[in-house]
Amino acid sequence: MNTSKLEELFLKLDEAIMVLQKELDVSYIEALAETIQNLAYEGKTQQMDGLPSDETVERLNRIYRKLTIEQEPREVIHKLLQLTYIKAIREDKIQVNHQITPDTIASLLAYFIGAIKSDTNYPVHIHDLTVGTANLLTVVMDFLEKKGLDVTAEAVDNDDLLISLAANGAHLQKWGEAIQFTHSDSLQELLIKPADIAVADLPVGYYPLDDRAKKFETSFEEGHSFAHYLLIEQHLKYLKEAGWGFFIVPKDLFESDEQGLLLKWLKGTGYLQGMLHLPESLFQSDKMQKSILMIQKSGNGAKQAEKVLLGTIPDLKNARSMKEFLEDFNNWSEKM
């Protein structure tokens, strides 16, 4: 990919976002969402109640014409959108649960899924019930598609701004009808097809609706329940028998489960097949460290792995250690 070309595109897109931000007096991410929507559909500025002004509409449309996004390959558009998301995080000081999954982590997760789902004779349907901007989901889908798999997905998020960014961003990346987006509380009953694979970078914290939480086995008897526990349970509910869930979770996921709710629920539902801690170098502090949790739903011949995959992924810059680690992972996945 031509770095100077990407930089040129980013400067133009950033200019358009800032023009709209100033005109509408909104946050950078709101202006970003509006801009991506304009680009995704006809590449023209939408005007409502006289805003933005006719003069600004003309200015924005001139910038849009110079962007030529429709001519760029998916990889370039993906990187371009990622740069704008990163700027939005910095400009608007966006909370951790709304930040994008970095490509380094998404690519690792994609590799693990590709090793488990290596048979190109069967289509793969994925769901992500906390899709955010869809960075994780689209990295996984792109990886699997390049391996020759026929991939579709359904994506859900309760944040209207993030689901707008996700849907319009996916449209710009030419995913077409391959991904269906739904704006909804992911812990409600959902009208989605059973999936072969679940992926999610789980938001961490408490779920405020206690009555709804009570319908889940992983809910607490008193007080608010952990949203990330409930979401793991919900993802598995919508998986096919023997389907796999790959979740980015806090490193201390099980240590914080003082009542043993997760493991108790899992015994009747599926198998903990692996938990791999991500390299410490990817995180600014110990508290922020994450792991990749791998769960397989029971049924259809699924069984507990002879060896549950536990450990820490080596530093990604250590090529030799990473090569050995991936060889070990491939050997393990072949037995599944």
Is the bond preceding 52 in cis, omega lying within 30 degrees of 0? yes
- Residue 109's nearest CA partner among 75, 143, 80 is 143
Which of the 8 DSSP states describes residue 304?
-
Based on C-alpha coordinates, what's the Rg of the chain?
A: 21
Q: Of 124 and 98, which is predicted with more confidence? A: 124
Per-residue buried b or exposed e for 229-242, using 16+ beta carbons within 10 Å of the residue's own CB: bbbbbbbbebbeeb
Please enumerate in sequence order all residues whose Cβ is within 8 A of that of 128, keeping only pairs 6 or more positions apart, or say none.
134, 136, 137, 153, 155, 156, 198, 199, 200
Q: Of 172 and 284, which is predicted with more confidence? A: 172
- Report, as an integer, the average pLDDT of 31-51: 92
CA quadruple 98, 103, 107, 108: dihedral positive or negative?
negative
Which of 6-10, 99-103, 187-191 has the least mean pLDDT?
99-103
- Report, as an integer, the average pLDDT of 235-254: 97
Is residue 243 within 8 A of residue 197, CB to CB? The reply is: yes
- Report, as an integer, the average pLDDT of 154-168: 96
What is the model's pLDDT at position 336?
A: 87
* Residue pointed to by tokens 């014409």: 65
Please enumerate in sequence order all residues whose Cβ is within 8 A of that of 178, keeping only pairs 6 or more positions apart, or say none.
141, 151, 152, 153
Helices 28-40 and 74-92 cross at an angle (nearest 10°) of: 160
Structure tokens given for 134:
């869809």
- Residue 217's nearest CA partner among 196, 228, 233 is 233
Q: Tell me the CA end-to-end span of the chain in Å, nearest whole number.
A: 36
CA quadruple 200, 87, 21, 44: dihedral positive or negative?
negative
- Report, as an integer, the average pLDDT of 83-105: 89
Structure tokens given for 204:
């961490």
For residue 155, what are the β-bridge partners?
128, 181
* Residue pointed to by tokens 């809910």: 219
Cα 7 to chain centroid distance, Å, stands at 24
Share of the chain above pLDDT 70, in %: 99
> Which listed CATH number (3.10.20.30, 3.40.50.150, 3.40.50.1100, 3.30.70.640) goes with 97-334?
3.40.50.150
In order, the DSSP letters of 98-165 are GSPPPHHHHHHHHHHHHHHS--TTS-EEEEETT-TTSHHHHHHHHHHHHTT--EEEEEEES-HHHHHH
Confidence of residue 90 (pLDDT cuts 50, 70, 90): very high
- Report, as an integer, the average pLDDT of 271-298: 94
What is the model's pLDDT at position 2?
A: 62
How is the chain split into domains, by residue range? 3-92, 97-334
- Report, as an integer, the average pLDDT of 260-278: 95
Residue 335 has pLDDT above 80, yes or no: yes
- Report, as an integer, the average pLDDT of 51-80: 93
What is the model's pLDDT at position 198?
A: 98
What is the model's pLDDT at position 1?
A: 54
Q: Of 100 and 200, which is predicted with more confidence? A: 200
- Report, as an integer, the average pLDDT of 287-302: 95
How far, in Å, CA of 25 to CA of 325, rounded? 49
How far, in Å, CA of 108 to CA of 120, rounded? 20
Model pTM?
0.95
- Residue 16's nearest CA partner among 41, 1, 34 is 34
pLDDT tens column, 183-208: 999 999 999 999 999 999 999 999 99
What is the model's pLDDT at position 96?
A: 74
Q: What is the mean pLDDT of the chain?
A: 94
Please, what CATH class does the domain formed by 3-92 belong to?
mainly alpha
Share of the chain above pLDDT 90, in %: 88
Residue 41 has pLDDT above 90, yes or no: no
- Report, as an integer, the average pLDDT of 161-176: 96
* Residue pointed to by tokens 């408490």: 206
